A and B are shown apart, each in its own frame.
Chain A
Amino acid sequence: MIDLLLSLLIVTGAMFTFIGSLGLARLRDFYTRLHGPTKASTLGVGCLLIASAVYFSVQDEGVSLHEVLVTLFLFITAPVSAHLLGKAALHLKLKSLAPVPARDNDAPSDPVC
């Protein structure tokens, strides 16, 4: 029973890690590409770390809490690095596939991107 749960968690985590990198490789502009690896860092590594915590808790007859540190650190730092990457991309004026939103006033707008 615990074997089945562990196998399910491991395969799900690895699948999400793969899907995150697939998104990174296949999506077409930077701002959509920023979206892919977040799945890998939250769901993918999260599932793997839960599997590892369950495995070592069952094996060593005691609650194993090393994994919670890694999970906590990843969950705190992932939004910060994504925010900084987005700011750097905006600073460099990278091209976006989304159309530039219309201005409110009628002044001729210069295309930003």
Chain B
Amino acid sequence: MLSTAIQIAFALVSLAFLLSFWRLLKGPDAPDRILALDTLYVNTIALLVLLGIYRGSAIYFEAALLIAMMGFVGTVALCKYLLHGDIIE
């Protein structure tokens, strides 16, 4: 039962990846693309957590934590660039 649930979850998260990627390609303005990138980071964390349950290994959490940090820093840097024209004043 758990393996079936994980298969369904993998399919749903992959579909979420495709939808976010479509918005990343299509998004009419720069903030749309940044938001799509941010959503892709969140989806990656979800996929890594699922993979950790599927493989029964706790080593994927370090990767998920790193991706969460890097995603936040990247989003903030891109938004600062849009707001001020440079990242570090």
Contact = CB atoms under 8 A, between A and B. Distances in A.
A25 B36 CA distance: 9
Contacts of B72: 73, 77, 80-81
A94 to B, nearest CB: 6
Interface size, B (range): 35 or more
A84 B58 CA distance: 33
Given A17-B42, A25-B22, A70-B65, A81 B58 contact: no
B48 to A, nearest CB: 9
Interface in B9-51: 9-10, 12-13, 15-17, 19-20, 22-23, 29-32, 34-36, 38-39, 42-43, 45-46, 49-50
Given A85-B34, A85-B75, A7 B4 contact: yes
A44 B9 CA distance: 11
Interface of B: 1-2, 4-6, 8-10, 12-13, 15-17, 19-20, 22-23, 29-32, 34-36, 38-39, 42-43, 45-46, 49-50, 52-53, 56, 58, 61-62, 64-65, 68-69, 72, 75-76, 79-80, 82-83
20 contacts: A14-B8, A24-B36, A30-B32, A37-B38, A40-B16, A44-B42, A45-B49, A51-B53, A52-B52, A55-B53, A66-B61, A67-B49, A69-B61, A70-B61, A74-B45, A80-B72, A81-B75, A84-B83, A85-B34, A88-B34
Q: Which 6 A-B pairs have the closest CB atoms?
A: A14-B9, A7-B5, A21-B16, A84-B79, A14-B12, A88-B82
